[in-house]
Amino acid sequence: MPPVANVVLGVTGGIAAYKACELLRRFTESGYDVRVVPTASALAFVGAPTWAALSGKPVSTEVWDDVHEVPHVRIGQGADLVVVAPATADLLAKAAHGLADDLLTNTLLTARCPVVFAPAMHTEMWLHAATQENVATLRSRGALVIDPAVGRLTGADSGPGRLPDPEQIFQACVRMLTRAGSGLAGSDAGLDLAGRHVVISAGGTREHLDPVRFLGNRSSGRQGYALATTALARGAEVTLVSANVGLPDPAGAKVVRVVSAADLRAAVLAAAPGADAVVMAAAVADFRPAISQSTKIKKTATEPEPVALIRNPDVLAELSGTRRTGQVIVGFAAETGDAGGDVLTHGRAKLAAKGCDLLVVNEVGSDRGFERPDNAAVILGSDGTEDDVPTGPKEALADRVWDHVARRWGNGSR
């Protein structure tokens, strides 16, 4: 599907306004038609000529400019998406209370399309009860408010309040536009996971032989992170259990870092009781060394002793056996065919053995599955359904998984 044409980029008066230039570049280079609507205070950080040059469109801040074109109404009416980045505490308050004292806030009131806010402010302002109430109000009306990143702010301050990476904001916007453009309406167009808490595991566990060596696998964590970013874009609260992943944290996700299968089990079981869904996308080691040496195993003239292995706990089966009513458990199975059957034969057997609600089965090999930006899979359901997802971006597969999870919540079945 070609990109939806009309995007309004609102920019407010925060030090992070300069980062919106990068966000604008990503939109324009991807073929979107972008109009920048800054606030007057935003122009103290980045001037109007910069926005006009980057967008190729004139820039206004006041409803009095070009009155004959009724911009305070027309801009919002013609938008397919409005994104405000950075969104200050002042802008969030105005939007939550329906104030309209400049062109941007008028645009927000007249927009009937997906709206995304990317807040940036000092930690104390973000955590203030008034800001949190305003954010809750905006989310209740269907807006996507991306939680700010944690990091260095202005001066020596550090904490939650940093503008998320422009690429993450862009991807969240693309997900909103894609779903809206596929014919979905209302909450189905974007925030169908709002109010839900999901737990996702990602990456590959490491089982140490000694302080230097470990048994591991090729998982990059991209599929698990795609599940996290798409869930966030659809309004969910996300806990991401990350095993040895080198990707940037998805803005707004609570990230719990683990190393081994035992670490991952403890983290997932701690988070699962309060979750509406648990998606086990991590490649968890089936076995670990029976003995892990405290010092490096030295290379000698004699052959080393064989490495004895013991079985790790089956976290997916454990989750399936202890899930509460209404909770959806999703597993991933990286499979190869062999003399015992093809990929789907092994996948169906694993679904029955694990007892989960959904099992995402993908064939892996030297040029597929691991360490790639794309993926193909078949989503098997415990009710006998099979959904063949063709090769495409891992975000597309992630959205299909969430579609299945949301349907199970909707009909109350497992």
pLDDT tens per residue across all 414 residues of the chain: 445 579 999 999 989 999 999 999 999 999 999 999 999 999 999 999 999 999 998 888 766 565 545 456 788 888 999 999 999 999 999 999 999 999 999 999 999 999 999 999 999 999 999 999 999 999 888 898 998 988 777 777 778 888 999 998 998 898 888 776 554 444 344 578 988 999 999 999 999 999 999 999 889 999 999 999 999 888 899 999 999 999 988 878 899 999 999 999 999 999 999 999 999 999 999 999 999 999 998 888 888 889 999 999 999 999 999 999 999 999 999 887 777 778 899 999 999 999 999 999 988 755 555 667 788 899 999 999 999 999 898 989 999 999 999 999 985 544
Cβ neighbours of 49 (radius 10 Å): 10
Burial per residue of 24-39, b for 16 or more beta-carbon CB atoms within 10 angstroms, e otherwise: bebbbeeebbbbbbbb
Return the structure tokens found at 157.
């301050």
Residue 203 region by backbone torsions, left for phi larger than 0, else alpha for psi between -120 and 50, else beta: left
261 and 345 belong to one structural domain: yes
227 and 371 belong to one structural domain: yes
In a domain, 192, yes or no: no
132 and 242 belong to one structural domain: no
Question: In this structure, what are the phi and psi dihedrals at residue 195, rounded to the nearest 5 degrees?
Answer: 85, 0
Q: Which of 155, 183, 211 is where one domain is finished?
A: 183
Degrees to nearest 5, angle at CA 276 with 127 and 246: 65
Here the CATH number for the domain that contains residue 309 is: 3.40.50.10300
In a domain, 258, yes or no: yes
Return the structure tokens found at 95.
């939007």
The pLDDT of residue 185 is 40
272 and 327 belong to one structural domain: yes
Report the relative pairing of strands 309-311 and 254-258 from DSSP bridges: unpaired
Q: Tell me, yes or no, if 106 is annotated catalytic.
A: no
The pLDDT of residue 336 is 78
86 and 229 belong to one structural domain: no
62 and 202 belong to one structural domain: no
276 and 130 belong to one structural domain: no
Residue with tokens 């989503």: 379
Beta-bridge partner residues of 8 = 35, 82
Residues 6+ apart with CB under 8 A from 91: 10, 12, 39, 84, 104, 105, 117
The pLDDT of residue 252 is 81
174 and 302 belong to one structural domain: no
Query: Which residue range forms the structural domain that includes residue 88?
Result: 6-183
Give the amino acid at 375: N
In a domain, 59, yes or no: yes
Burial per residue of 364-388, b for 16 or more beta-carbon CB atoms within 10 angstroms, e otherwise: beeeebbeeeebebbbbbbeeeeee
| Cis amide bond preceding 86, omega within 30 | yes
The residue from 217, 244, 375, 411 that is catalytic is 217
In a domain, 86, yes or no: yes
159 and 270 belong to one structural domain: no
The pLDDT of residue 142 is 85
In a domain, 229, yes or no: yes
In a domain, 111, yes or no: yes
Return the structure tokens found at 170.
């862009």
301 and 324 belong to one structural domain: yes
In a domain, 37, yes or no: yes
Question: In this structure, what are the phi and psi dihedrals at residue 371, rounded to the nearest 5 degrees?
Answer: 60, 30
The pLDDT of residue 340 is 74
Here the CATH number for the domain that contains residue 74 is: 3.40.50.1950
CB burial of residue 311 (10 Å; 0-12, 13-18, 19+): exposed
Q: Which of 183, 214, 249 is where one domain is finished?
A: 183
Q: Which of 159, 183, 207 is where one domain is finished?
A: 183
In a domain, 131, yes or no: yes
124 and 209 belong to one structural domain: no
Number of structural domains found in the chain:
2
The pLDDT of residue 135 is 94
H or E element, residue 221: none
Separation CA 370–CA 276 (nearest Å) = 27
250 and 207 belong to one structural domain: yes
Q: What's the predicted TM-score (pTM) here?
A: 0.80
Nearest to 310 by CA among 291, 288, 294: 288
Separation CA 114–CA 383 (nearest Å) = 34
